[in-house]
Protein backbone atom coordinates (compact mmCIF):
# COMPACT_ATOMS: atom_id res chain seq x y z
CA UNK A 1 0.00 0.00 0.00
CA UNK A 2 1.29 3.43 -0.96
CA UNK A 3 0.86 5.97 1.85
CA UNK A 4 1.36 9.68 1.34
CA UNK A 5 3.11 11.08 4.39
CA UNK A 6 2.33 14.72 5.13
CA UNK A 7 4.35 17.27 7.08
CA UNK A 8 2.13 17.03 10.16
CA UNK A 9 2.37 13.25 10.46
CA UNK A 10 4.40 11.70 13.26
CA UNK A 11 6.52 8.56 13.30
CA UNK A 12 6.41 7.25 16.88
CA UNK A 13 9.14 4.67 17.47
CA UNK A 14 8.62 2.50 20.52
CA UNK A 15 11.45 1.11 22.67
CA UNK A 16 14.07 0.06 20.11
CA UNK A 17 16.55 -0.59 22.91
CA UNK A 18 19.30 -3.14 23.46
CA UNK A 19 17.40 -5.15 26.05
CA UNK A 20 14.62 -5.87 23.52
CA UNK A 21 17.09 -6.85 20.80
CA UNK A 22 19.38 -9.87 20.28
CA UNK A 23 21.02 -11.02 23.54
CA UNK A 24 19.15 -8.39 25.54
CA UNK A 25 17.53 -9.13 28.90
CA UNK A 26 14.05 -9.26 27.34
CA UNK A 27 14.99 -10.05 23.76
CA UNK A 28 12.12 -9.96 21.29
CA UNK A 29 12.50 -12.62 18.58
CA UNK A 30 13.97 -10.98 15.48
CA UNK A 31 13.78 -7.61 17.23
CA UNK A 32 16.88 -6.26 15.50
CA UNK A 33 15.11 -6.62 12.15
CA UNK A 34 13.07 -3.50 12.84
CA UNK A 35 16.15 -1.27 12.84
CA UNK A 36 16.81 -0.97 9.08
CA UNK A 37 13.07 -0.72 8.42
CA UNK A 38 12.65 2.09 10.93
CA UNK A 39 15.78 3.89 9.73
CA UNK A 40 14.29 3.96 6.24
CA UNK A 41 10.89 5.13 7.57
CA UNK A 42 12.51 7.90 9.59
CA UNK A 43 13.63 9.65 6.40
CA UNK A 44 10.03 9.98 5.25
CA UNK A 45 8.79 11.96 8.27
CA UNK A 46 9.23 15.56 9.36
CA UNK A 47 8.39 14.54 12.93
CA UNK A 48 9.97 11.59 14.72
CA UNK A 49 9.58 10.79 18.42
CA UNK A 50 11.24 7.92 20.29
CA UNK A 51 10.14 6.23 23.49
CA UNK A 52 12.64 4.73 25.91
CA UNK A 53 11.67 2.21 28.56
CA UNK A 54 13.51 3.60 31.60
CA UNK A 55 13.20 1.71 34.87
CA UNK A 56 14.93 2.36 38.19
CA UNK A 57 16.70 -0.66 39.73
CA UNK A 58 14.21 -2.78 41.68
CA UNK A 59 11.26 -1.59 39.59
CA UNK A 60 7.91 -3.13 40.56
CA UNK A 61 7.51 -4.71 37.10
CA UNK A 62 10.59 -6.87 37.69
CA UNK A 63 9.98 -10.44 38.86
CA UNK A 64 13.05 -10.04 41.10
CA UNK A 65 11.11 -7.45 43.12
CA UNK A 66 8.46 -10.06 44.03
CA UNK A 67 9.89 -12.99 45.97
CA UNK A 68 8.18 -16.24 45.00
CA UNK A 69 7.23 -14.92 41.56
CA UNK A 70 8.92 -15.68 38.27
CA UNK A 71 9.39 -13.72 35.09
CA UNK A 72 6.24 -13.74 32.91
CA UNK A 73 3.94 -14.43 35.88
CA UNK A 74 0.95 -12.12 36.04
CA UNK A 75 0.18 -10.53 39.40
CA UNK A 76 -2.37 -8.09 40.77
CA UNK A 77 -1.16 -4.56 41.46
CA UNK A 78 -3.17 -1.64 42.85
CA UNK A 79 -3.77 -0.46 39.27
CA UNK A 80 -4.64 -3.87 37.76
CA UNK A 81 -2.95 -6.95 36.33
CA UNK A 82 0.77 -6.70 35.70
CA UNK A 83 3.04 -9.12 33.85
CA UNK A 84 6.38 -9.53 35.62
CA UNK A 85 9.50 -9.18 33.50
CA UNK A 86 13.17 -9.99 33.78
CA UNK A 87 15.13 -6.93 34.94
CA UNK A 88 15.46 -4.77 31.83
CA UNK A 89 16.06 -1.22 30.59
CA UNK A 90 17.58 -0.02 33.82
CA UNK A 91 18.25 3.71 33.81
CA UNK A 92 21.73 4.42 32.51
CA UNK A 93 22.61 0.79 31.83
CA UNK A 94 23.67 -0.35 28.34
CA UNK A 95 20.49 -2.40 28.00
CA UNK A 96 18.46 0.80 28.13
CA UNK A 97 20.42 2.43 25.29
CA UNK A 98 18.87 2.61 21.87
CA UNK A 99 20.07 -0.06 19.44
CA UNK A 100 23.47 1.21 18.22
CA UNK A 101 22.35 1.19 14.59
CA UNK A 102 19.08 3.00 15.20
CA UNK A 103 19.07 6.40 13.51
CA UNK A 104 18.06 8.61 16.41
CA UNK A 105 19.39 11.95 15.13
CA UNK A 106 16.15 13.19 13.63
CA UNK A 107 14.07 12.54 16.74
CA UNK A 108 12.66 15.80 18.13
CA UNK A 109 11.64 14.27 21.45
CA UNK A 110 12.45 11.22 23.55
CA UNK A 111 9.72 10.16 25.94
CA UNK A 112 11.03 8.10 28.85
CA UNK A 113 8.51 5.91 30.63
CA UNK A 114 8.33 3.40 33.43
CA UNK A 115 10.51 5.52 35.70
CA UNK A 116 8.12 5.53 38.66
CA UNK A 117 9.07 2.62 40.93
CA UNK A 118 5.52 1.54 41.79
CA UNK A 119 3.93 1.52 38.33
CA UNK A 120 4.83 0.22 34.90
CA UNK A 121 4.19 2.17 31.71
CA UNK A 122 3.78 0.32 28.43
CA UNK A 123 2.10 3.12 26.53
CA UNK A 124 3.77 6.27 25.26
CA UNK A 125 0.70 8.17 26.51
CA UNK A 126 -0.35 6.70 29.88
CA UNK A 127 1.18 4.64 32.63
CA UNK A 128 -0.37 1.24 33.31
CA UNK A 129 -3.12 2.73 35.48
CA UNK A 130 -4.29 4.02 32.07
CA UNK A 131 -4.76 7.52 33.47
CA UNK A 132 -1.42 9.02 34.54
CA UNK A 133 -0.31 10.91 31.42
CA UNK A 134 3.23 11.06 30.07
CA UNK A 135 2.59 14.46 28.50
CA UNK A 136 2.94 13.22 24.92
CA UNK A 137 -0.69 13.95 23.98
CA UNK A 138 -0.31 17.56 25.08
CA UNK A 139 2.91 17.89 23.10
CA UNK A 140 1.30 16.52 19.94
CA UNK A 141 -1.75 18.75 20.30
CA UNK A 142 0.31 21.87 20.85
CA UNK A 143 2.38 21.00 17.81
CA UNK A 144 -0.69 20.23 15.69
CA UNK A 145 0.33 16.67 14.92
CA UNK A 146 -2.76 14.53 14.33
CA UNK A 147 -1.78 11.33 12.59
CA UNK A 148 0.56 8.86 14.24
CA UNK A 149 2.45 6.06 12.50
CA UNK A 150 3.77 3.48 14.94
CA UNK A 151 6.66 1.04 14.81
CA UNK A 152 9.00 -0.63 17.30
CA UNK A 153 9.03 -3.19 20.09
CA UNK A 154 7.05 -4.97 21.16
CA UNK A 155 3.93 -5.19 18.98
CA UNK A 156 1.84 -6.82 21.70
CA UNK A 157 2.89 -4.68 24.67
CA UNK A 158 4.27 -1.17 24.34
CA UNK A 159 3.30 -0.69 20.69
CA UNK A 160 -0.16 -2.08 21.33
CA UNK A 161 -0.88 0.07 24.39
CA UNK A 162 0.46 3.14 22.62
CA UNK A 163 -1.71 2.50 19.55
CA UNK A 164 -4.91 1.96 21.53
CA UNK A 165 -4.27 5.01 23.69
CA UNK A 166 -3.56 7.13 20.61
CA UNK A 167 -6.99 6.17 19.28
CA UNK A 168 -8.61 6.82 22.65
CA UNK A 169 -7.11 10.31 22.51
CA UNK A 170 -8.56 10.88 19.06
CA UNK A 171 -5.46 10.57 16.90
CA UNK A 172 -5.57 8.81 13.55
CA UNK A 173 -3.30 5.84 14.17
CA UNK A 174 -1.50 3.58 11.72
CA UNK A 175 0.56 0.52 12.70
CA UNK A 176 3.46 -0.26 10.35
CA UNK A 177 3.79 -4.04 10.66
CA UNK A 178 7.18 -4.38 8.96
CA UNK A 179 8.66 -2.14 11.65
CA UNK A 180 7.35 -4.17 14.60
CA UNK A 181 8.09 -7.48 16.31
CA UNK A 182 6.18 -9.20 19.13
CA UNK A 183 6.94 -10.92 22.43
CA UNK A 184 3.88 -13.18 22.00
CA UNK A 185 3.18 -14.40 25.50
CA UNK A 186 0.09 -16.59 25.98
CA UNK A 187 -1.76 -15.31 22.93
CA UNK A 188 -0.81 -11.69 23.51
CA UNK A 189 -0.17 -11.00 19.83
CA UNK A 190 -3.63 -12.16 18.75
CA UNK A 191 -5.18 -10.20 21.62
CA UNK A 192 -3.24 -7.10 20.62
CA UNK A 193 -4.28 -7.41 16.99
CA UNK A 194 -7.93 -7.78 17.99
CA UNK A 195 -7.68 -4.88 20.44
CA UNK A 196 -6.10 -2.60 17.86
CA UNK A 197 -8.69 -3.50 15.23
CA UNK A 198 -11.52 -2.83 17.70
CA UNK A 199 -9.98 0.53 18.58
CA UNK A 200 -9.80 1.56 14.93
CA UNK A 201 -6.04 1.35 14.53
CA UNK A 202 -5.22 1.08 10.83
CA UNK A 203 -2.59 -1.42 9.70
CA UNK A 204 -0.21 -1.33 6.79
CA UNK A 205 2.66 -3.67 6.09
CA UNK A 206 4.96 -0.86 5.02
CA UNK A 207 4.63 2.60 3.59
CA UNK A 208 5.45 1.37 0.06
Q: Which residues are catalytic?
A: 15, 113, 158
Binding mask 59-98 for ligand VGL (x = CB under 6 A): --------------------------x-------------
- In whole angstroms, how far apart are CA 18 and each of 39, 40, 184, 190? 16, 19, 18, 25
- Selection from ligand VGL, Zn ion, none that 63 binds (CB < 5 to 8 A by kind) is none
CB of 113 to Zn ion, least distance (A): 8
Q: What's the Rg (C-alpha) of the chain?
A: 16
Q: Which of 62-70, 135-143, 150-158, 199-207 is the region at the interface with ligand VGL (rule: CB under 6 A)?
A: 150-158
The only residue of 12, 84, 154, 196 in contact with ligand VGL, by rule CB under 6 A: 154
Handedness of CA 96, 17, 22, 70 (dihedral sign): positive
Contacts of 77 (CB under 8 A, 6+ apart): 60, 119, 128
CA distance 26 to 116: 20
Helix (H) or strand (E) holding 149: strand 147-153
| Residues 109-128 contacting Zn ion, CB under 5 A | 114
- Selection from Zn ion, ligand VGL, none that 90 binds (CB < 5 to 8 A by kind) is none
Footprint of ligand VGL (CB under 6 A): 15, 20, 53, 85, 122, 153-154, 157-158
Amino acid sequence: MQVRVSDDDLLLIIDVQNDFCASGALAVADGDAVVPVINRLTERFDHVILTQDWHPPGHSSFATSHPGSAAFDVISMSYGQQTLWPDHCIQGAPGADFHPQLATERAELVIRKGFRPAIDSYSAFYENDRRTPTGLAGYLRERGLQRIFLAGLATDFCVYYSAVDARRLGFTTVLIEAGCRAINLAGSLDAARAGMAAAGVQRVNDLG
